[in-house]
Structure 1
Amino acid sequence: MSDERLGLTEAVSMALGGMIGGGIYAVMGVVAGITTYATWAAFVLAGVVALAAGYSYNALNRLSDSNGGSVTFVQCFTGNTTLAGMTGWTLLVGYIGSMAMYAFAFGEFAVAFEAVPAEVVGLPARPLLSVLAVAGFVGLNVLGARTTGTVENVLVAAKVAILLAFGVLGLAYAFGYGGSGTLQFGVGHLTQFGPIVAAAISFVAFQGWQLLFYDQDSISDPVTTIRRAVYVAIPVAVLIYVLVGVVTVNLVPGALQTHPHVALKDAASLMLRPYGLAALGGTVLALSALFSTGSAINATLFSAAHFAKGMLSDDLLPDRIGSADADGVPARVVVLIGAVTAAFTAVGGLGAITSFASLSFMIVFGAMSYLAFRHRDQEAVNPVPPLVGVVGAAGFFPLMLWNLANREPNTFYMVVVIAVLVVTVELLYFERDDIAAEVVPFEEVPVGNSSG
């Protein structure tokens, strides 16, 4: 892979691409179902906690001896290699789960076009298209950083433009053709518990920015560029989520309850109906969904591969996965991550692994905020943002579990099983030498040497 470096524009695109993916289509319905017209408040609250965590990451990045992400920070500030390795493996599972969700959504939206058949050569189109999407972005990432960054710029620009146009046209419809002339913001719900629970659920939609910290070898002046990119991308993502949420909840509240994945498409058709462009509105919004999920796959795969290479360099992954001495990211790493992602997205039933991914991000974001808060005596660290990150993540985690246990008990149990399996495998790998030392060697008694 090429070692060409990315600038601020590509870094912002990567961060936005990782945030504004399938989440805006899948999470929106769940959040609206809990807090209705106060959906915007849930996104603002989740965005504030994400921005506080972003501050903590940037602070740790300035203080650490070697630039990196969560794994590097844990190793640098705690000196615990096992804990750092377990953090890395858990995040890799989380990234693969997120990409599988994006690819699943990509296939769903592609099949929604009438021109796409339900089956291709006897196979269901949805999983086939999902796997092909992953394979396509694996190919782009193997070509090099500059190619990946250019594609990401195009995809992010397209989806942001469409979603902003969606929001503006929605406001025009609400105050003009067929609208009530007013918008409801659910102010009465702000004193209730619902927006906080909804914020915990929507938090997964704000995790993409931290992928930049694993790309630092591919970014020009990484510490400064990433700091600026994080502080630009998170507020922009919050703005888009709030705008789209307010418009969708006010125009098609019923669609968010019955079929949340295509609710935005219904809203786009409604707002363009007075112009005779209802079909065009739905088609353009569906294309935006493809851009969104595609760029999310691209950004997450790019960053997860760099993350894995960093773990190889720290001897936290088996050498068989790839060479840490390769220029750029070893193609084998990209292909392996893509293959596992394709397997997950082809099988479907991603609720458990994506929920596990969301919970993993909460734990890691909270832990990084705590590490930054511990170093609040340093000139580079203001203690307030890290404290907000710790309190926010610590509050979101039990709320997410509570929501799963009450609304999706089967998913809750699967998350517990996945967590136990992941932690067990991690401990067996990182503590293998200590475990082997505790095993008493079995000395075989030679045949015919027994007394009797």
Structure 2
Amino acid sequence: MISNTEKSTGSQGELGPVRVWALAAGGMVGGGIYIALGVVIAVAAQWAWLSFVISGVIAVCTAYSYARVSNHYKRSGGAFEFLEEMDRQGIAGSLSWLLILGYTLTIAVYTFAFGHYLAYSIGGGPAVIRAFAIGIGIALIGLNLVGIGKMTAVEVVIVTANLVVLLILGLIGICNWDSTQLLAGIEPRTPWSASVGAAAIFVSYEGFQLLTYEYEKVKSPEKYFLPVLVSAAIFVVFVYVLVALGATMLAGALAIVEEKQVALSIAAENVGGTAGLVVMTIAAAFATAAAINSTLFSTGKLAARVARDHELPGWFSHQNRFGVPDRPIIAIGIVATLLSVLGSLSALVEAASLVFLAAFFIVNLTCFQLADSNRWIPLTGIIVGAMIGVVLVARLIVTAPISLAVLVLLSLVATLGRSAILRWLKSKEE
């Protein structure tokens, strides 16, 4: 077992196990399934459900690793903090840049989903989609700047309602089981395609690790954090498989692929007509907005924390009168909003998936090195994550070489050019 010799954080945190569970599950489901289903069915067809299982194995192993290492160091800060505590500041700085990039891409995906689901409900075209996306981006930047970036109680309510809606949709679909719907209008795929699908939508499992940035606010984390985080990840795997199968039963594979930006609205409308569409639109709007809000808040805090350790320019550490790291929130929010209206769904999803596969690989490796029991869990995350990462890179080489080249360039800047950039900026400040 990982050493637990440091002083306990006690039980004075404000986040109890139920809230932590809800926020962890909601962090993953908040935007993921709304935009991932059509993407994965286009790639894996009848094996889409297995794609979610494969990605879920990595997520569950990584949730375990995040919790174990968080309990070891007993500090908020996530992977950046873990590596700094291990005297690996260089790797920590590079990883922080990659994480900020990944979170920015994720916010763009959620903003993309928000714009498309709302616009579809009123029959709006591209201009309306962009207006909704830009509007939510600006609105949530504003909320964060006035200190309303983490609305825990509200988020729990949204998460609960969202999960209920998705479970009902999935169960209705399963009760109307028709295996021909899994391939309705599309070509069948081989079982191998499940690994390609898992690679393409791994970003759907991003979100639970944001709770590690709030570790010091968790009640009795040594007791609850690990089982809560892992059980939330396992539950989300179940929800994703249920919805992947259920929604396909209701809408058919072709409809979901052709309308992948709003796949769940198509399924809900087929089963419930206008009422189903309204319910799913409300669920999607609130879930994606909450996911944007919490991710933007946490990413801004991460950027400010990294800047205070001189691994980002000091400009990012600035706080406004509400104690909010305003500059990173504005910068990240604007970039994410622009990406959401300029980028394609698949490119955004797959680029973010690759970043988080790399980050989760590092966390699993960290846990494997520190632990002296149950090392097979992080090892499983390492092996499966590496395999899926290779598959995703191969896919991007074929389908999106420009996106991959940009991502590789940014990764090289983060790993090899970061120190030189920071030295140059410091010389300019002096």
Amino acid in structure 2 at the alignment position of 1:94? G
Assess, with a 3 A threshold, how the Cα gap between structure 1 residues 339 and 88 changes in structure 2: closer, same or farther.
same
Per-residue deviation, residues 160-200 of structure 1 (Å, max 9, x unmatched): 111111122223334xxxxx599979xxx998312222222
Q: What is the match of residue 162 of structure 1?
A: 165
Question: By how many angstroms is 1:328 displaced?
Answer: 5.7
Per-residue deviation, residues 326-374 of structure 1 (Å, max 9, x unmatched): 9864334333322332233343446545433211111111121112112
Q: What is the match of residue 63 of structure 1?
A: 72
Q: Does 1:416 align with 2:405?
A: yes
Q: What is the match of residue 386 of structure 1?
A: 378
Per-residue deviation, residues 370-413 of structure 1 (Å, max 9, x unmatched): 12112233xxx41110110100111011111122233x2xx232
Alignment partner of 1:112: what SS? helix
Is the 2:113–2:262 contact (alpha carbons within 8 Å) kept by the matching residues of 1? Answer: no
Question: By how many angstroms is 1:418 displaced?
Answer: 3.0
Amino acid in structure 1 at the alignment position of 2:270? L
Question: By how many angstroms is 1:234 displaced?
Answer: 0.8
Q: What is the match of residue 110 of structure 1?
A: 118
Assess, with a 3 A threshold, how the Cα gap between structure 1 residues 313 and 127 changes in structure 2: closer, same or farther.
same
Amino acid in structure 2 at the alignment position of 1:155? I
Q: What is the match of residue 271 of structure 1?
A: 271
Is the 1:14–1:299 contact (alpha carbons within 8 Å) kept by the matching residues of 2? Answer: no
Once residues 434 and 291 of structure 1 are traced to their aligned partners in structure 2, the CA distance between those partners, rounded to angstroms, is: 42
Q: What is the match of residue 394 of structure 2?
A: 402
Aligned counterpart for 2:310 among listed residues 302, 315, 330: 315
Once residues 183 and 30 of structure 1 are traced to their aligned partners in structure 2, the CA distance between those partners, rounded to angstroms, is: 16
Per-residue deviation, residues 31-90 of structure 1 (Å, max 9, x unmatched): 22333233222212211111111111122222237443111222223x232221110011
Amino acid in structure 2 at the alignment position of 1:231? V
In our comparison, the structure showing a higher alpha carbon Rg is: 1
Q: What is the match of residue 306 of structure 1?
A: 301
Amino acid in structure 2 at the alignment position of 1:113? S
Assess, with a 3 A threshold, how the Cα gap between structure 1 residues 383 and 181 changes in structure 2: closer, same or farther.
closer
Q: What is the match of residue 42 of structure 1?
A: 51
Q: Does 1:286 align with 2:278?
A: no
Q: Does 1:127 align with 2:127?
A: no
Assess, with a 3 A threshold, how the Cα gap between structure 1 residues 40 and 316 changes in structure 2: closer, same or farther.
same
Aligned length: 410
Q: What is the match of residue 84 of structure 1?
A: 92
Once residues 417 and 361 of structure 1 are traced to their aligned partners in structure 2, the CA distance between those partners, rounded to angstroms, is: 16
Question: By how many angstroms is 1:325 displaced?
Answer: 12
Is the 1:6–1:218 contact (alpha carbons within 8 Å) kept by the matching residues of 2? Answer: yes
Give the TM-score normalised by structure 2: 0.85
Per-residue deviation, residues 128-158 of structure 1 (Å, max 9, x unmatched): 2212212322333345469611221222122
Once residues 181 and 353 of structure 1 are traced to their aligned partners in structure 2, the CA distance between those partners, rounded to angstroms, is: 31
Once residues 105 and 155 of structure 1 are traced to their aligned partners in structure 2, the CA distance between those partners, rounded to angstroms, is: 16
Q: What is the match of residue 363 of structure 1?
A: 358
Q: Does 1:15 align with 2:24?
A: yes
Gaps of 5+ in 1: 175-179, 273-277, 437-452
Is the 2:150–2:293 contact (alpha carbons within 8 Å) kept by the matching residues of 1? Answer: no
Q: What is the match of residue 140 of structure 2?
A: 137
Once residues 222 and 325 of structure 2 are traced to their aligned partners in structure 1, the CA distance between those partners, rounded to angstroms, is: 24
Assess, with a 3 A threshold, how the Cα gap between structure 1 residues 10 and 65 changes in structure 2: closer, same or farther.
closer
Assess, with a 3 A threshold, how the Cα gap between structure 1 residues 360 and 250 changes in structure 2: closer, same or farther.
same
Q: What is the match of residue 235 of structure 2?
A: 236
Q: Does 1:93 align with 2:101?
A: yes
Is the 2:119–2:125 contact (alpha carbons within 8 Å) kept by the matching residues of 1? Answer: yes
Question: By how many angstroms is 1:220 displaced?
Answer: 4.1
Assess, with a 3 A threshold, how the Cα gap between structure 1 residues 88 and 426 changes in structure 2: closer, same or farther.
same
Once residues 337 and 435 of structure 1 are traced to their aligned partners in structure 2, the CA distance between those partners, rounded to angstroms, is: 22
Q: What is the match of residue 445 of structure 1?
A: none
Q: What is the match of residue 41 of structure 2?
A: 32
Q: Does 1:51 align with 2:60?
A: yes
Once the two structures are overlaid, the 10-residue window that deviates more, 422-431 or 292-301, is 422-431
Assess, with a 3 A threshold, how the Cα gap between structure 1 residues 323 and 224 changes in structure 2: closer, same or farther.
farther
Question: By how many angstroms is 1:98 displaced?
Answer: 0.7
Question: By how many angstroms is 1:246 displaced?
Answer: 1.0
Q: What is the match of residue 151 of structure 1?
A: 154
Is the 2:319–2:327 contact (alpha carbons within 8 Å) kept by the matching residues of 1? Answer: no
Give the TM-score normalised by structure 1: 0.81
Q: What is the match of residue 9 of structure 2?
A: none
Q: Does 1:333 align with 2:342?
A: no
Is the 1:212–1:303 contact (alpha carbons within 8 Å) kept by the matching residues of 2? Answer: no
Is the 2:261–2:345 contact (alpha carbons within 8 Å) kept by the matching residues of 1? Answer: no
Assess, with a 3 A threshold, how the Cα gap between structure 1 residues 398 and 321 changes in structure 2: closer, same or farther.
same
Q: Does 1:245 align with 2:283?
A: no
Is the 1:107–1:127 contact (alpha carbons within 8 Å) kept by the matching residues of 2? Answer: yes
Aligned counterpart for 1:373 among listed residues 368, 375, 379: 368
Is the 1:85–1:430 contact (alpha carbons within 8 Å) kept by the matching residues of 2? Answer: no
Question: By how many angstroms is 1:260 displaced?
Answer: 2.0
Once residues 326 and 8 of structure 1 are traced to their aligned partners in structure 2, the CA distance between those partners, rounded to angstroms, is: 32
Question: By how many angstroms is 1:118 displaced?
Answer: 4.8
Alignment partner of 1:382: what SS? coil
Q: What is the match of residue 338 of structure 2?
A: 343
Once residues 75 and 214 of structure 2 are traced to their aligned partners in structure 1, the CA distance between those partners, rounded to angstroms, is: 13
Alignment partner of 1:215: what SS? helix
